[in-house]
Amino acid sequence: MAQKLPPVDVVLVGFGWTAAILAQELTEEGLEVLALERGAWRDTPTDFPPTLAPDELRWYWRKEMFANNSRNTLTFRNNRGQVALPMRRWGSFLPGEGVGGAGVHWNGQTWRFLPSDFIAASHNAERYGPLPVGMTVQDYGVTYDELEPHFDRFDKLCGIGGKAGNIGGRIQEGGNPFEGQRSSEYPNPPMHMTFSQHQFERATRELGLSPFPGPSANMTQPYTNPLGCQLGPCSYCGFCEKYGCGNYSKASPQTTILPVLMTKPNFKLKTHNEVLRVKLDKSGRRATGVIHVDTQGNEYEQPADLVILCAYQLWNTHLMMLSGIGEIYDPATGEGLVGKNYCYQVMSSADVFYEDKYTNEFAGAGALGMCVDDFNGDNFDHAGLDFIGGGYIANWTTNARPIETHPTPEGTPNWGSAWKKAVKENFLKSTSVGAHGASMAYATNYLDLDPTYTDAYGRPLMRMTYDFTPNDLKMSAFLTERVKQIAERMGGREIKLNTRDGPYDSMPYQTTHNTGGTIMGTNPSNSVVNRYLQSWDVPNLFVMGAGVFPQNAGYNPTGTVAALTYWAADAIRTQYLRSPGPLVQA
């Protein structure tokens, strides 16, 4: 029998980026806010100081930085004709766990989706004609211009380093000429580019493209953010993505929000408490709170006036299913919306091998790179191309961690003397050019509940049915050809193409950019949440994260996830709290 606890005003499920942002915003309204995190408290000096952080085996290969599959995982198959089997260990994506979530181990590549990305359905249909049958791309229901002030807030919270390309409609030299208009320059200058980035910049300019520095949440100089949190300068240690930062120089909840939030009298955090489901009243239209369980096996009922799902996209979608909120999507009938429009990211690249130049990629950072956006979104004419969308192309120097990164030229075997020789000769002399492609929604890619496998609590695992789509493959072939053209001009001895062909393999790492399942939209017949991320079915429930994206754009999602969180927080503060109820009339 669950022990009923004293009520709070707001309960947040999970304590990563979106919960930290929301907790900081809503405590400012004097609300009693409680966050429930299933993982542990983590901080820089205890968990990832410089004396412990640069440990490739521990944090990545033994997965100590990530969610524990023995407790939480999902099943996977490419299509409905197959039996889904458990993801027994992580591969293509790495969900976080613990305070700060994936905000602790992300790269810090911080983008804003394009204005056209938010209206991908109407924009592309208008320009190119009806979308193909089976493609379920939709408009977000919110525009870039509405979100701009919230993107700006996150940029300043995190001290993003970069060069603006469009300030108030005026194109700026050295920035991304394709970006949506910004109200201000980045709060910090760009990162310190290295040899590889110089080659990329030269190669792309020769091709008539517009290179610019990648927007970075690795501090390019000492920075104090608007909350008064101090971040140190990045030391280009090459242990960024998949690792915690020992320098306080990667923007994370710990470095940007928690020092202020944790001391507020109206905020409380409970760690090692996993939410099992949202509790609804008899009508099913009001959340009364959540049921959670701690690591000693004690079960609790936590009443709250406002429930906000702030866990990772996968777990938020799973919780909606387990709580019986909305109807789970069934591709056979097309009915149901929870789990629909699951999307990912379509990656491809070229390795560049130099004969006698050293790229020294161990001197790198999570968001150290030069990029071109000429082939993203609808930044180029798609007439006759038979796909929509695109992706940025970049040369990032993030690492040369040897277990993970030991590229070898075309034709090298995977082991033996020839392999070892190739690894030795190329380790310090290689770099890569990558395409970070969009993922358009299709009716055949979705999440639902597995009929066979259960988690540590006896709940059915979520099942992922996902494969690359015709749009993905055509788009990727186009982008990879452009990657090849750039890579061939970077002055190397040879290149090796890493194309993206189907089927989707859930094991080699690609990105932790899982989206959809709780999509936002313009009315309850096409979405799970409205434009303020409020549940259509249960008005005192909001759902954060990339699960609200109806499809994924050609960028890393965190910047847009954060902007939507600030946007939702603003709607809660200025509208919902004054008059609790649906913010959009269905």
Q: Which residues are catalytic?
A: 513
Query: Binding of other proteins at residue 6 (CB under 8 A)?
Result: no
> Of 41 and 128, which CB lies nearer to other proteins in the complex structure?
41
What is each CA distance from 167 to 88, 142, 144, 148, in whole angstroms? Answer: 47, 21, 14, 11
Q: Which of 4, 28, 30, 40 binds other proteins (CB under 8 A)?
A: 40
> Of 430 and 540, which CB lies nearer to other proteins in the complex structure?
430
Put residue 174 in one of left, alpha, beta given phi > 0 → left and psi -120 to 50 → alpha.
left
Distance CA 404, CA 154 (A): 31
197 in Cβ contact with 393 (< 8 Å): no
The interface mask with other proteins, positions 225-244, x = CB under 8 A, is --------x-xxxxx-----
For residue 364, what are its two tokens?
């790198």
Distance CA 206, CA 440 (A): 31
The interface mask with other proteins, positions 57-96, x = CB under 8 A, is xx--xxxx---xxxx-x--xxx---xx-xxxxx-x-----
Query: Binding of other proteins at residue 277 (CB under 8 A)?
Result: yes
Amino acid letter, 124:
N
Distance CA 482, CA 209 (A): 11
Q: How far is the CB of 223 from other proteins (least distance, A)?
A: 16
Positive/negative CA dihedral, 504, 509, 511, 514: positive
> Of 277 and 496, which CB lies nearer to other proteins in the complex structure?
277
Q: How far is the CB of 488 from other proteins (least distance, A)?
A: 18
> What does the radius of gyration of the chain's CA atoms come to, in whole angstroms?
23
Positive/negative CA dihedral, 116, 435, 551, 546: negative
Distance CA 78, CA 507 (A): 13
Q: In what order do the strands lie in the sheet with 369-372?
A: 212-213, 369-372, 391-396, 430-437, 346-353, 494-498
Positive/negative CA dihedral, 407, 410, 414, 415: negative
Cβ burial 16-48 (10 Å sphere, 16+ → b, else e): bbbbbbbbbbbbeeebbbbbbbbbebbbbeebb
Query: Binding of other proteins at residue 53 (CB under 8 A)?
Result: yes
Query: Binding of other proteins at residue 524 (CB under 8 A)?
Result: no
Q: What is the DSSP string of 368-429?
A: -EEEE-TTSTTSS--TTTS----EEEEEE-----TTT-----TT--SSSHHHHHHHHHHTTS
Question: Which span (147-155, 290-298, 383-391, 568-576) binds other proteins, by CB under 8 A?
Answer: 290-298
> Of 55 and 148, which CB lies nearer to other proteins in the complex structure?
55
Binding positions for other proteins, 403-442, rule CB under 8 A: 403, 406, 414-417, 420-421, 423-424, 427-428
Q: Which of 7, 9, 29, 50 binds other proteins (CB under 8 A)?
A: 50
Question: Which span (106-114, 172-180, 350-358, 479-487) binds other proteins, by CB under 8 A?
Answer: 350-358
Q: How far is the CB of 176 from other proteins (least distance, A)?
A: 23
Distance CA 59, CA 120 (A): 37
> Of 45 and 581, which CB lies nearer to other proteins in the complex structure?
45
Phi then psi for residue 62, to 5 deg, are: -95, 5
Question: Which span (181-189, 256-264, 341-349, 509-517) binds other proteins, by CB under 8 A?
Answer: 256-264
Distance CA 134, CA 248 (A): 46
> Of 119 and 191, which CB lies nearer to other proteins in the complex structure?
191
Q: How far is the CB of 537 from other proteins (least distance, A)?
A: 17
Q: How far is the CB of 75 from other proteins (least distance, A)?
A: 9
Q: Which of 3, 51, 283, 585 binds other proteins (CB under 8 A)?
A: 51
Binding positions for other proteins, 387-406, rule CB under 8 A: 400-403, 406
Amino acid letter, 456:
A
Q: Which of 491, 454, 470, 227 is nearest to 359 (CA)?
A: 491
> Of 4 and 71, which CB lies nearer to other proteins in the complex structure?
71
The interface mask with other proteins, positions 461-500, x = CB under 8 A, is ----------------------------------------
Query: Binding of other proteins at residue 183 (CB under 8 A)?
Result: no
DSSP state letter for 237: -
Q: Which of 47, 179, 378, 472 binds other proteins (CB under 8 A)?
A: 47
Binding positions for other proteins, 445-464, rule CB under 8 A: 449, 452-460
Count of residues of this chain found to bind other proteins when the rule CB under 8 A is applied: 109
> Of 247 and 512, which CB lies nearer to other proteins in the complex structure?
247
> Of 99 and 157, which CB lies nearer to other proteins in the complex structure?
99
Binding positions for other proteins, 130-169, rule CB under 8 A: none
